[in-house]
Homo-oligomer: A and B are copies of this chain.
Amino acid sequence: MVAAEQQASVQRIFSEYLERHGHRKTPERFAILTEVYAHDGHFDIERLYGRMKTKKYRVSRATLYNTMDLLIDCDLVRRHRFTGTQSQFEKAHAFGQHDHLICTTCGAVQEFCDPRIQQIRKTAGEVMGFEVRYHTLQIHGTCASCQEKRQLS
């Protein structure tokens, strides 16, 4: 799927979600969604705020926080709490499920993918009578680069 198609797709999903829940379709909300889907990777509110400030849409931080909640609720955005108090966000639609390796030394975040996690999700849900919506798997340790640096010292 090319970027333009993806934009159209997520805009439609968001629009239907807002309608279904009786929320208003404000230009700010769609502008935020557009900006979120214009980039790959993780971002925090401050970075998103900065990116939008330099463009046509200047939205308040409060609106960014509110809109993130909506986008998370309709599964267009995922929230991560890697470390510290600051939340990291990431677009979640039409992307392969992936999880994260987090280096406890340098803080770098790498992505990886293992289909076996789907089995675990399924089993856990069945055993506990839990309706699974999404998961977060973080593997913490030392990245290859920091392992090398440690050897040298």
Contacts and interface: CB of A to CB of B under 8 A. Distances in A.
Interface of A: 81, 85, 99, 101, 103-104, 110, 112, 114, 116-117, 119-121, 123-125, 127-144, 147
Contacts of A81: 81
A133 B121 contact: no
A33 to B, nearest CB: 21
Contacts of A103: 130
A130 B141 contact: yes
A137 B137 contact: yes
Contacts of A116: 116, 119-120
Nearest to A112: B124
Nearest to A87: B85
A146 B59 CA distance: 35
22 contacts: A85-B85, A101-B124, A101-B128, A101-B130, A110-B128, A110-B130, A112-B127, A114-B123, A116-B119, A117-B120, A120-B137, A128-B143, A128-B144, A129-B147, A130-B143, A131-B142, A132-B140, A135-B137, A135-B138, A135-B139, A136-B138, A136-B140
Contacts of A120: 114, 116-117, 120, 137
Contacts of A119: 116
A112 B119 CA distance: 14
Given A112-B128, A114-B120, A128-B110, A142 B133 contact: yes
